[in-house]
Amino acid sequence: MMARVIDGKTHAARERAELAQKVATFRRVVGYAPRLDVVLVGDHPASAVYVRNKEKAREQAGMEGRVHRLPAETAQHELAALVADLNHDPNVHGILVQLPLPAHLDAQAILEAIDPRKDVDGFHPENVGLLALGRPRFVPCTPLGVMRLLKAEGIATTGREAVVLGRSAIVGLPMSLLLAARGTGDATTTICHTATPDPRAVARRADLLIVAMGRAETVDADWIKPGAVVIDVGIHKRDDGRLVGDVVFESAARVATAITPVPGGVGPMTIAMLLNNTYEAARAALAHSGGVGLLASLSEEGCVST
Ligand SMILES: Nc1nc2c(c(=O)[nH]1)N[C@@H](CN(C=O)c1ccc(C(=O)N[C@@H](CCC(=O)O)C(=O)O)cc1)CN2
Ligand SMILES: [Mg+2]
């Protein structure tokens, strides 16, 4: 039997609609909306699309924000100065620097320059450390979106064997931390990477296989235990313009019990989670600035955490 296809677009639309209601209440009670500022350096074509999609989604959620478009030749100190300005602007609750940055820029230094309380990407070492310690503040949007998808689909992780293919800072590493975390994933979690001698053999042990290796259409039915759940985080554009993931969808769907497609699986959840993180950042800033009474009013109106 073919696997059930997990419809990320529908789940993301529901998340965004729920958030839009909370944002409307926030605006009414507090007097302003959460604000997300995005920084895009250069003209990477895919990044331009993602940033436009983020802008549209933000507007639909009723949030404030701005996209700061800088030329490809922007110097490190110029980008750092913009980040510092955004850090100091009390009206800005979330800051996102779109990756990848042009090669001459030190991306790690820029990510570390973002105020960790505005780091809605969850990439700052302080936020990575909090996640590793089981005290998450901002969790990277793609792995957070995967956890929300699993929950919404009723896919249990507790006590199950999870394998993550890939150890990137954006997906693989935080994904494995979430899956292993007490009370969050509680899965027996293994990470495979470029030095793993036989990743296919390890993948075949997985009840839950997360594929984030960044290699187009690599994982086929031979990598998958019959009945496993397969989550494909990869996204690649073929020469004919087709978008594909790291998984060979048709082959994998013959042995998996549930699978995410590309496009329309994990991708849409990434943007929904970014908006959720921005809402949380605005709530936390309000609490920090002494708005305890306003927070209580929000809670009374059902506006709790996302
Ligand atoms: N600062 C960041 N940079 C990057 C991140 C990130 O989380 N923070 N992630 C990726 C790109 N990304 C968001 O920025 C992203 C990628 C893909 C999608 C998405 O919705 N994909 C759709 C297809 C979209 C299309 O038609 O091209 C899908 O999979 O259905 C959203 C966000 C790297 N950089
Ligand atoms: Mg992401």
pTM (2 d.p.)? 0.96
Q: What is the CATH number of the domain that holds 150?
A: 3.40.50.720
Is 83 a domain residue?
yes
Same domain assignment for residues 105 and 146: no
Is 306 a domain residue?
no
- Please say which residue of 80, 115, 150 terminates a domain: 115
In the chain, % helix, strand, coil (3-state, to 5) comes to 45, 15, 40
Verify whether ligand 1 is closer than 6 Å to residue 267 (CB atom): yes
- How much of the chain, in percent, has pLDDT values that exceed 70? 100
Verify whether ligand 1 is closer than 6 Å to residue 262 (CB atom): yes
Kindly state the tokens that stand for 127: 């936020």
Same domain assignment for residues 152 and 209: yes
Beta-carbon neighbour count of residue 231 at 10 Å? 28
264: CB partners within 8 A, 6+ apart: 7, 8, 9
**Distance set, CA 205 to CA 13, 14, 192, 200 (Å):** 33, 33, 12, 9
- Please say which residue of 99, 115, 131 terminates a domain: 115
Ligand 2 centroid to 290 CA: how many Å? Answer: 31
53: CB partners within 8 A, 6+ apart: 271
Domain containing residue 71 = 31-115
Same domain assignment for residues 76 and 188: no
* 251 carries a ligand binding annotation: no
| CA gap 193, 243 in Å, rounded | 23
Same domain assignment for residues 170 and 251: yes
Same domain assignment for residues 201 and 256: yes
Provide the 3-class DSSP secondary structure of residue 211: strand
Question: Which residue minimizes the CA distance to atom 21 of ligand 1?
Answer: 267
Q: What is the CATH number of the domain that holds 56?
A: 3.40.50.10860
Give the pLDDT confidence of 4-27 residue by residue, as tens digits.
Answer: 999 999 999 999 999 999 999 999
Spatial contact of 161 and 167, defined as CB atoms under 8 Å apart: no
Verify whether ligand 1 is closer than 6 Å to residue 49 (CB atom): yes
Length of the chain: 306
ipTM of the predicted structure?
A: 0.95
Same domain assignment for residues 179 and 226: yes
Give the pLDDT confidence of 250-305 residue by residue, as tens digits.
Answer: 999 999 999 999 999 999 999 999 999 999 999 999 998 888 888 888 888 877 77
Question: What is the domain count for the chain?
Answer: 2
Same domain assignment for residues 88 and 40: yes
Ligand 1 centroid to 270 CA: how many Å? Answer: 7
Is 81 a domain residue?
yes
Spatial contact of 190 and 160, defined as CB atoms under 8 Å apart: no
Is 303 a domain residue?
no
- Closest atom, ligand 1, to C-alpha of 237: 27
Residue appearing with tokens 């997360």: 210
Give the pLDDT confidence of 71-106 residue by residue, as tens digits.
Answer: 999 999 999 999 999 999 999 999 999 999 999 999
* 166 carries a ligand binding annotation: yes
Burial state string for 194-229 with b = 16 or more CB within 10 A and e = fewer than 16: eeeeebeebbbebbbbbbbbbebbbbbeebbbeebb
pLDDT of residue 43: 93
* 235 carries a ligand binding annotation: yes
* 167 carries a ligand binding annotation: yes
Is 128 a domain residue?
no
Verify whether ligand 1 is closer than 6 Å to residue 269 (CB atom): no
- Closest atom, ligand 1, to C-alpha of 98: 1
| CA gap 179, 185 in Å, rounded | 4
| pLDDT > 90? residue 161 | yes
Is 91 a domain residue?
yes
Ligand 1 centroid to 297 CA: how many Å? Answer: 35
Same domain assignment for residues 158 and 234: yes
Same domain assignment for residues 187 and 104: no
Q: Which residues pair with 39 in a beta bridge?
A: 68, 97
Ligand 2 centroid to 140 CA: how many Å? Answer: 6
Same domain assignment for residues 102 and 145: no
Is 199 a domain residue?
yes
Verify whether ligand 1 is closer than 6 Å to residue 270 (CB atom): yes
Same domain assignment for residues 104 and 200: no
- How much of the chain, in percent, has pLDDT values that exceed 90? 93
Kindly state the tokens that stand for 227: 């009945």
35: CB partners within 8 A, 6+ apart: 63, 64, 65, 66, 91, 92, 93, 94, 278, 282
Same domain assignment for residues 60 and 103: yes
Is 21 a domain residue?
no
Please state, rounded to an integer, the average pLDDT across all residues of the chain. Answer: 97
Mean pLDDT of 230-236: 98
